[in-house]
Amino acid sequence: MTKRKVALITGITGQDGGYLADLLLSKGYEVHGIRRRSSSVNLQRIGHLYRNPHDRAENFHLHYADMTDGMSLFQVLKDVRPDEVYNLAAQSHVRISFDKPEYTSDVNGLGVVRLLEAIRLLGMGDHVRFYQASTSELYGNVQETPQSETTPFRPRSPYAISKHFAFLTTINYREAYGFHASNGILFNHEGPYRGEGFVSRKITRGASAIHYGLQDKLVLGNLNATRDWGHARDYVEGMWLMMQREEPSDYVLATGEQHSVRDFVERAFEIVDRPIEWDGAGLEEKGIDKKSGKAIIEIDPRFYRPAEVNSLVGNPAKAKDELGWEHRTTFGQLVAEMMEADMKQAAAGTLSAEG
Ligand code: NAP
Ligand code: G4F
């Protein structure tokens, strides 16, 4: 009988952590996740896998550690002895990274050094496969369209700069020590598990709350930014495929299709039968509910970034050729699935707080 593979996921309580845990368990892995200490329980995305330490799926285990605490990472690696490590933990909010640049750099940048160095010092570098959650934010002030693995990086936020450090560190351990270490350069991916502070979820949550009379309006920032939005469930498959390759490498995962924040808003409100008409410009622009005539979308510069990434769209050709990976969920299906989940919560009175 072949031995069950063991995976360690940092950031298991986050959006991608939840989807990846589901995927790896369905493939027969023993899954270990790192959670950080918090004063209240934040296991919503993995609640179906983990109930309490005495009643848990035997293949699913959580460990306390923190990306800012190298000793804790060392100890978990030593105890778990994983075959595959997926480093998903991050302060992942781009606008907040402008408020917390030092913390963001510590978690996202130095955190990767702590993890890779612990693997090296434990003598596990010759067999552990390592995935680093890199990002399309690295392209920043984009140099070509669409963006691929060879497009130069021009990061424009503390978040993106910390991820650039992590990207290069991952390659350095591959080149210097022969680690099987790969970067997934993932474009935006969403789903019902998405955090409430990211624009996609803010919109689907807001549209549902307005529809059920729980909220009067939705306040947003830059409506004209465009992103390449896919579904997180499809993207975690790409992460796993990278870990199954004989040789490590870096891959773009994207849909190749671009939509604006404005498109996202229109699509979400169409689902609740409230078509939006735009009126005014800049900070004075409003989204009017055509049926009631009420202004339900407003702009607040609080949600602007000091330096914006205006447009991103990826070219996933290498992932298709080498991994056989392609996104499955269309933009329309993504918005519809997120709306369905938030509408159910709004109807049940369990909609989470605004992000
Ligand atoms: P997310 O929902 O924000 O989840 C981040 C995870 O990191 C959470 O589990 C969080 O724990 C954990 N974390 C934060 N600080 C930590 C620390 N100091 N120590 C240990 N854990 C910590 O992010 P996501 O959307 O799932 O993204 C996963 C990864 O992919 C991130 O690295 C992100 O930067 C990257 N990425 C995401 C996208 C995207 O579109 N989603 C695209 C490209 C790259 P808590 O639950 O305790 O906060
Ligand atoms: O949803 P967002 O906050 O995602 P952003 O900044 O693209 O970052 C996400 O994707 C990256 C991959 O490219 C990840 F690396 C990162 O961890 C994260 O998951 O914002 C998307 C766009 C931006 O242009 C922003 O300015 O939406 C615009 N936007 C407009 N109004 C807003 C809002 N963003 C947020 N969060 N909130 C708003 O009210």
Q: What is the mean pLDDT of each run of 10 residues along the chain (355 residues)?
A: 90 98 96 94 87 68 97 98 98 98 98 98 98 98 98 98 99 98 98 98 98 97 98 98 98 98 98 98 97 97 98 98 98 98 97 87
Measured between alpha carbons, how far is 130 from 108 in angstroms, rounded to an integer?
A: 15
Nearest atom of ligand 1 to the alpha carbon of 193: 2
Regarding the beta carbon of 92 and ligand 2, being less than 6 Å apart is answered: yes
- Residue 279 Cα to ligand 1 midpoint, Å, equals 36
Task: Convert 223-240 to b/e letters by CB count within 10 Å (16 or more is b).
Answer: bebbbbbbbbbbbbbbbb
Regarding the beta carbon of 305 and ligand 2, being less than 6 Å apart is answered: yes
pTM (predicted TM-score): 0.98
CA angle 38, 43, 49 (to 5 degrees): 145
Q: Confirm whether 159 is a catalytic residue.
A: yes
Report the DSSP pairing between strands 286-289 and 295-299.
antiparallel
Q: Name the closest-CA residue to atom 9, ligand 2.
A: 188
Pocket-testing residue among 88, 93, 94, ligand 2, by greatest number of atoms within 8 A of Cβ: 94
Regarding the beta carbon of 355 and ligand 2, being less than 6 Å apart is answered: no
Pocket-testing residue among 87, 136, 199, ligand 2, by greatest number of atoms within 8 A of Cβ: 199
pLDDT attached to residue 354: 85
Nearest atom of ligand 2 to the alpha carbon of 199: 1
Residues ≥6 apart with Cβ < 8 Å to 348: none
pLDDT attached to residue 1: 63
Measured between alpha carbons, how far is 309 from 50 in angstroms, rounded to an integer?
A: 37
- Residue 315 Cα to ligand 2 midpoint, Å, equals 19
Classified as helix, coil or strand, 219 is: strand
Measured between alpha carbons, how far is 313 from 188 in angstroms, rounded to an integer?
A: 9
Residue whose C-alpha is closest to residue 186's, from 240, 131, 235: 235
Kindly list the distances between the CA atom of residue 236 and the CA atoms of 69, 269, 309, 326, in Å, as whole numbers in the listed order.
Answer: 26, 28, 24, 11
Classified as helix, coil or strand, 174 is: helix
Which stretches within the chain are classed as H helix?
A: 15-26, 70-80, 94-99, 101-104, 111-121, 158-177, 199-211, 232-244, 261-271, 317-318, 331-348
Ligand with minimal distance to 94 CA: 2
Residues ≥6 apart with Cβ < 8 Å to 322: 245, 249, 251
Report the DSSP pairing between strands 180-186 and 259-260.
unpaired
pLDDT attached to residue 271: 98
- Would you tell me how many other CB atoms lie within 10 Å of the CB of residue 56? 13
Measured between alpha carbons, how far is 154 from 162 in angstroms, rounded to an integer?
A: 12
Measured between alpha carbons, how far is 152 from 206 in angstroms, rounded to an integer?
A: 36
Kindly list the distances between the CA atom of residue 11 and the CA atoms of 33, 92, 117, 201, in Å, as whole numbers in the listed order.
Answer: 7, 10, 18, 19
Q: Confirm whether 329 is a catalytic residue.
A: no
Pocket-testing residue among 46, 85, 92, 239, ligand 1, by greatest number of atoms within 8 A of Cβ: 92
Q: Tell me 323's DSSP state.
A: I
Largest CA distance in the chain: 67
Report the DSSP pairing between strands 259-260 and 226-227.
antiparallel
Q: Name the closest-CA residue to atom 6, ligand 1.
A: 11
Q: Which of 159, 173, 235, 251 is catalytic?
A: 159
Q: Which of 84, 137, 190, 237 is catalytic?
A: 137
Q: Name the closest-CA residue to atom 20, ligand 1.
A: 66
Pocket-testing residue among 41, 88, 113, ligand 1, by greatest number of atoms within 8 A of Cβ: 88
Where do we find the tokens 């990207």?
167
Residue 5 token pair: 């593979």
Counts of helices then strands in the chain (DSSP H, E): 11, 17
- Residue 322 Cα to ligand 2 midpoint, Å, equals 29
Residues ≥6 apart with Cβ < 8 Å to 350: none
Measured between alpha carbons, how far is 320 from 148 in angstroms, rounded to an integer?
A: 12
- Residue 227 Cα to ligand 2 midpoint, Å, equals 9
pLDDT attached to residue 54: 62
Regarding the beta carbon of 313 and ligand 2, being less than 6 Å apart is answered: no
For the packed helices 199-211 and 331-348, what is the interaxial angle rounded to 10 degrees? Answer: 50
- Residue 89 Cα to ligand 1 midpoint, Å, equals 4
